[in-house]
C-alpha cells in the first residue's frame, strides 16, 4: 500500500557542510517523483534521509521532519530496521547478495522479518519476480547464483528483493545509470507499472528519463529545493531561472 512522504525543513549536514538545506517537500503516493540537479547538489543525500540511511554515517546530522503517512520517521517510536522495509532502496550499482541464489536473494528478508514461510515463500518468490518483470527469465534457474545474471537482471532482482518485504515507498538512486539502453528501458517500463501500487522516488541525472517516467519533478541546486511541480510544467515552463538554465543544458 502506497504512502505519502512529507519533509519539513529537512537539513542534512556532514560535519559543518550542509548537503541538504531546509527542504519542504510532499511526495504523493501512487506516482513517480523525480529528483534532478547537477552532481553534488544533494540528491542522494536527500533520498537517503527518507529511510534513515544516514544513521550509518557517524558525521551525518539530520534535522527537521520526515513523515511516512502521519508517522515521524525520526521519532522515538520508529524502528529504523522496520522503516527500511516500508521504505525500500535501490542503488545505482545492482547489489544482490553475491553468495546467495536468485531465490535466496528474494526470501532472505521476508524470512528474517517473519513475513512468510514454507509454501508462502514459494508464492512470494514468483509474485515479486513477476512484479519486477524478471520471472520469465529466471524461473528455470532460481537456484543459480544471483551474480550469474546480467546487470539489468540483477537490478530487477534488487527491485524484487525490495518488494518482498511489502514496502510502501521505493527509493531509487540512478537505478539505470550503470545499464545499457535495453536494460534501462526495462527498468523504466517497470517503474511505470510499479507506480500503481507504490510511492516511487527516483534520482536521475538524465532529464529525458525524468520526463519519461515521472509525474512530478524536483530540481535541487546546492542543497536547496529550487523548484518542484508537475513534470510537464517544470520542463516546459520553469518558473525559476536556475531551473531553466539547468534543463536547457546551460550548466550541468
For ligand ADP, give the closer residue by CB, 17 or 77. Answer: 17
Contact call for residues 199 and 172 (beta carbons, < 8 A): no
Among 43, 156, 161, 195, binds ligand ADP (CB under 6 A): 43
Contact call for residues 212 and 231 (beta carbons, < 8 A): no
Q: Is 135 in the site for ligand ADP (CB under 6 A)?
A: no
Among 1, 9, 26, 40, binds ligand ADP (CB under 6 A): 40
**Strands ordered across the beta sheet of 32-36:** 87-90, 169-173, 199-203, 32-36, 216-221, 224-230
Residue nearest to Mg ion (CB): 44
Q: Is 128 in the site for ligand ADP (CB under 6 A)?
A: no
Which residue's entry shows cell 518468490? 125
Q: Is 52 in the site for ligand ADP (CB under 6 A)?
A: no
Q: Is 44 in the site for ligand ADP (CB under 6 A)?
A: yes
For ligand ADP, give the closer residue by CB, 41 or 128. Answer: 41
- Report the nearest approach of ligand ADP to the CB of residue 14 (Å): 3
Among 19, 157, 170, 183, binds ligand ADP (CB under 6 A): 19
- Using CB distances below 5 to 8 A depending on partner kind, what does residue 236 bind out of ligand ADP, Mg ion, none? none
Comparing C-alpha atoms, which of 24, 27, 28, 26 is closest to residue 8?
Answer: 24
- Using CB distances below 5 to 8 A depending on partner kind, what does residue 156 bind out of Mg ion, ligand ADP, none? none
Residues with Cβ within 8 Å of residue 119, at least 6 apart in sequence: none
Q: What span, in angstroms and rounded, lies between the C-alpha atoms of 202 and 213?
A: 9
Strand partners, 12: 20, 62
Q: Is 236 in the site for ligand ADP (CB under 6 A)?
A: no
| Three-state DSSP class for residue 14 | strand
Helix ranges (DSSP H) in the chain: 43-49, 80-86, 102-112, 119-131, 135-138, 151-163, 181-194, 207-213, 231-236, 241-247
- Using CB distances below 5 to 8 A depending on partner kind, what does residue 88 bind out of ligand ADP, Mg ion, none? none
Q: Is 14 in the site for ligand ADP (CB under 6 A)?
A: yes
Q: Is 41 in the site for ligand ADP (CB under 6 A)?
A: yes
Contact call for residues 167 and 87 (beta carbons, < 8 A): yes
Q: Is 45 in the site for ligand ADP (CB under 6 A)?
A: yes
- Binding residues for Mg ion, rule: CB under 5 A, are 44
The count of residues interacting with ligand ADP (CB under 6 A) is 12
Contact call for residues 54 and 19 (beta carbons, < 8 A): no
Contact set with ligand ADP (CB under 6 A): 14, 19, 37, 39-45, 57, 59
Amino acid at each position: 500500500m502506497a504512502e505519502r512522504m512529507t519533509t519539513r525543513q529537512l537539513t542534512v549536514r556532514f560535519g559543518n557542510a550542509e548537503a541538504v538545506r531546509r527542504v519542504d517537500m510532499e511526495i504523493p503516493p501512487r506516482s513517480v517523483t523525480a529528483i534532478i540537479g547537477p552532481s553534488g547538489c544533494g540528491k542522494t543525500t536527500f533520498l537517503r534521509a527518507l529511510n534513515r540511511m544516514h544513521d550509518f554515517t557517524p558525521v551525518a546530522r539530520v534535522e527537521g521532519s520526515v513523515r511516512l503517512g502521519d508517522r515521524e520517521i525520526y521519532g522515538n517510536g520508529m524502528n529504523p530496521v522496520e522503516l527500511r522495509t516500508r521504505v525500500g532502496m535501490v542503488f545505482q550499482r545492482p547489489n544482490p547478495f553475491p553468495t546467495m541464489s536468485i531465490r535466496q536473494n528474494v526470501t532472505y528478508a521476508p524470512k528474517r522479518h517473519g513475513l512468510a514461510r514454507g509454501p508462502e515463500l514459494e508464492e512470494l518468490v514468483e509474485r515479486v519476480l513477476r512484479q519486477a518483470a524478471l520471472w520469465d527469465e529466471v524461473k528455470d534457474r532460481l537456484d543459480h547464483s544471483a551474480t550469474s545474471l546480467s546487470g539489468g537482471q540483477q537490478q530487477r532482482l534488487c527491485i524484487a528483493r525490495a518488494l518482498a518485504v511489502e514496502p510502501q515507498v521505493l527509493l531509487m538512486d540512478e537505478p539505470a545509470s550503470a545499464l545499457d539502453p535495453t536494460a534501462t528501458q526495462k527498468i523504466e517500463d517497470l517503474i511505470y507499472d510499479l507506480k500503481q501500487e507504490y510511492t516511487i522516488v527516483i534520482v536521475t541525472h538524465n532529464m529525458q528519463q525524468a520526463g519519461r517516467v515521472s509525474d512530478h519533478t524536483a530540481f535541487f541546486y546546492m542543497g536547496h529545493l529550487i523548484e518542484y511541480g508537475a513534470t510537464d510544467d517544470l520542463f516546459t515552463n520553469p518558473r525559476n531561472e536556475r531551473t531553466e538554465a539547468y534543463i536547457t543544458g546551460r550548466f550541468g
